[in-house]
Amino acid sequence: MTQRRGAPWPVALAVVAVVAVAALVVFVWHPWVRSAGQAADTASVRADAAGQERPVGAEDGTGEGEETGMKDERAPKTQLAADFMAGKVRSVRLVGDSITAGFGTDGYPEPGTDDTGSVIYDDGASTVFYETPSDVVCWANEFRTWAGQHGVRSFVNAGINGAFMAELAQNPEAWVAEGADVVVVALGTNDAGYYGPEEYRDAAQTAFDYVEQHCSTLVVMSPVSDLRPESMLVEPAASLGDVLREICDERGYLFVDARDAVSPEQFNDDDLHPTSEGSLAIWECLRATLGL
């Protein structure tokens, strides 16, 4: 019969001691359970395909600490809005017709008494026009107030009764003067009664060639769709708005579509000039479009 040999006592005792120590360590340490700090540290980074670690959300461009896919609703809608908010816009000039001047709105001066403001047009010969008073209730003055609250120090309303885009093309120096950081051109209401779309396009492009050299940002606003009968028009204002949109798309100008900004009941009895309520609706249209 084969005799089994038992392990020598010293060896057996050593084995028992090792097992006991290991059991004690496992009981106290729990290596399979991570602490809250270890779990957070591990979750805060991910390895990309190259094995490099980066913060959670970095692959989305959101950065550490931001929720993936979330957008900041406070971010400016346009670069122009961002420039206003940052105080980078110091001067604004509006170039327009009677709707920009505020004709037909509350507080607009009577004919013959409107030559007391600042000069807004001077051809150096005999033609001079003056700025509408700042207390007239019109879209231009609403813009003036808002701009003044956002760092603008020079605001000129160069709206002229009866003005045409063709006149801006013919003599831009007299109208735009030294220019401004932002120039808003709002012309076309009067052109609609005399010019077709191609003539209007040529005038607008020539005018904009000059204006864009005298501002940082050019904003073009369409004429308002008024209530004049078609028999009085060569081309409806809506069609001229299409021309302006095309030019803006081609050249990268900001375009404000104000064709439907004024409702029928917001016009004066002449069916052409907005009341103060209608004029303020134009301001709201411009403000919403530009994100101001």
- Residue 110 structural domain: 79-290
Return d(Cα 286, Cα 159) in angstroms, integer. 16
CATH of the domain at 156: 3.40.50.1110
How many domains are there within the chain?
Answer: 2
User: Is the CB of residue 42 less than 8 Å from the CB of residue 34?
Assistant: yes
In a domain, 93, yes or no: yes
In a domain, 136, yes or no: yes
Secondary element (H or E) of residue 185 = strand 180-186
Question: Are 16 and 146 part of one and the same domain?
Answer: no
Question: Are 54 and 91 part of one and the same domain?
Answer: no
> According to the model, what pLDDT value does residue 124 have?
83
Question: Are 50 and 104 part of one and the same domain?
Answer: no
- What would the pLDDT profile of 75-94 be if each residue is shown by its tens digit? 788 999 999 999 999 999 99
In a domain, 162, yes or no: yes
> According to the model, what pLDDT value does residue 230 have?
87
Q: Could you give phi then psi for residue 121, rounded to 5 degrees?
A: -150, 130
Question: Are 118 and 18 part of one and the same domain?
Answer: no
Question: Are 34 and 177 part of one and the same domain?
Answer: no
In a domain, 116, yes or no: yes
Question: Are 159 and 44 part of one and the same domain?
Answer: no
In a domain, 1, yes or no: no
In a domain, 39, yes or no: yes
> According to the model, what pLDDT value does residue 113 have?
65
**Which amino acid is present at 81?**
A
In a domain, 69, yes or no: no
> According to the model, what pLDDT value does residue 112 have?
63
The DSSP string of 61-98 is: T--TTS-TT---TTS-SSHHHHHHHTT---EEEEEE-H
Question: Are 224 and 99 part of one and the same domain?
Answer: yes
> According to the model, what pLDDT value does residue 259 have?
96
Question: Are 181 and 273 part of one and the same domain?
Answer: yes
Question: Are 197 and 154 part of one and the same domain?
Answer: yes
- What would the pLDDT profile of 121-137 be if each residue is shown by its tens digit? 988 888 899 999 999 99
Question: Are 122 and 228 part of one and the same domain?
Answer: yes
Question: Are 109 and 26 part of one and the same domain?
Answer: no
Length of the chain: 292
Question: Are 91 and 56 part of one and the same domain?
Answer: no
Return d(Cα 279, Cα 149) in angstroms, integer. 20
> According to the model, what pLDDT value does residue 142 have?
98
Nearest to 256 by CA among 227, 215, 223, 212: 223
> According to the model, what pLDDT value does residue 50 have?
36
In a domain, 217, yes or no: yes
Q: pTM for this one?
A: 0.74
- Report the DSSP beta bridge partners of residue 154: 91
Return d(Cα 274, Cα 140) in angstroms, integer. 13
What are the pLDDT tens digits along the chain (292 aa)? 434 334 443 444 343 444 444 444 444 444 444 444 444 333 333 333 333 333 333 334 434 334 444 445 567 889 999 999 999 999 999 999 999 999 999 999 987 666 667 999 988 888 899 999 999 999 999 999 999 999 999 999 999 999 999 999 999 999 999 999 999 999 999 999 999 999 999 999 999 999 999 999 999 999 999 999 988 899 888 899 999 999 999 999 999 999 999 999 999 999 999 999 999 999 999 999 999 9
